[in-house]
Amino acid sequence: MTYLYAYLSVLLLFLPADFAWLGTMTSRLYRPTLGDILLDKVSIAPAIVFYLAYPMGIVIFAVMPALKSGTLAQAAIYGALFGAFSYGTYDLTNQATLRNWSTTLTVVDMAWGSVLGAFAAAGAFWIVGKLAQ
């Protein structure tokens, strides 16, 4: 049950935070930088797969190790690292292969991935800890 609670907690924290980010930053950062390579509407199927799968990574690589050690700081650090590596893979690959992709977009998006990963992992650690009491 711990894995399920951790997963649902990450999902509960990750989804609204990322939707708020994208809702705020798409017109300010992504669309001005990427222009015509952005779709007018999000392709739902790949988005669903991402939003169901990515939280599993946060649980496996950040929340569960932190629950074993009992430290919130470990959840936040591992969550931030998972976010940095994951978003970095996406951003740096895009910067290497897409004409419009900028260094600013890479840095900002990787920073967001790190913050989001730390937030979701630390929040899930806290929630699961409270549920276990």
Cα 128 to Cα 7, 58, 60, 133: the distances in Å are 10, 14, 14, 9
Q: pLDDT exceeding 90 applies to what percent of the chain? A: 95
Helix, strand, coil fractions of the chain, as percent rounded to 5 = 90, 0, 10
pTM for this predicted structure? 0.94
pLDDT in tens, 7-39: 999 999 999 999 999 999 999 999 999 998 999
